[in-house]
């Protein structure tokens, strides 16, 4: 059994609750445990994971949040930089499933977050599990 830290950017409560439900179900179904850590926004997720990765209690991480396109360039910065930060940590050998939704509107977020529909929280958790299994396989 592994212990995962779900790091969520709590901004859209309804969508985040759905993402967390999907992630928790996927982790529990695979026999793993999880804790949740909330950060202010998606840009803070990579930093929080980097700090928490030093804690031996966590074997892997699930990044969750929702970024909805607005009228300014801010969407591109948040979406791109949060993904870049997570990818950099993953390349350093940290098992992270990226479930940060980057969508155009609330309707897209709802479909992707809902465990009964696209279940992106569950997908991110399963990706983190898969990466952790690869790390074990290759002795990382």
Binding site members for (2S)-2-hydroxy-3-oxobutyl phosphate: 71-72, 112
Annotated binding site: which residue ranges? 11, 42-44, 66-68, 71-72, 98, 112
> Please, is 17 exposed, middle or buried when counting C-beta atoms within 10 Å of its C-beta (0-12, 13-18, 19+)?
middle
| Identified catalytic residue from 14, 74, 81, 106 | 74
How many CB atoms are closer than 10 A to CB 34? Answer: 21
Q: Is residue 74 annotated as part of the catalytic site, yes or no?
A: yes
8 A C-beta contact, residue 129 and residue 60 = yes
What is the per-residue burial (b if ≥16 Cβ within 10 Å, else e) of 85-94? bbeebbeeeb
Active site residues: 74
């Amino acid at each position: 059994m592994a212990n995962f830290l779900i790091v969520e950017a709590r901004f859209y409560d309804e969508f985040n609750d759905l993402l967390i439900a999907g992630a928790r179900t996927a982790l529990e179904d695979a026999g793993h445990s999880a804790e949740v850590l909330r950060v202010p926004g998606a840009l803070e997720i990579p930093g929080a994971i980097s700090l928490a990765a030093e804690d031996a209690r966590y074997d892997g991480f699930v990044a969750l949040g929702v970024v909805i396109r607005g009228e300014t360039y801010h969407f591109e910065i948040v979406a791109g930089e949060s993904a870049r930060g997570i990818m950099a940590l993953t390349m350093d050998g940290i098992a992270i499933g990226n479930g940060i939704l980057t969508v155009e509107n609330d309707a897209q977020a709802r479909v992707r977050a809902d465990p009964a529909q696209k279940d992106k929280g569950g997908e991110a958790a399963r990706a983190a599990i898969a990466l952790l299994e690869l790390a074990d396989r290759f002795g990382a």
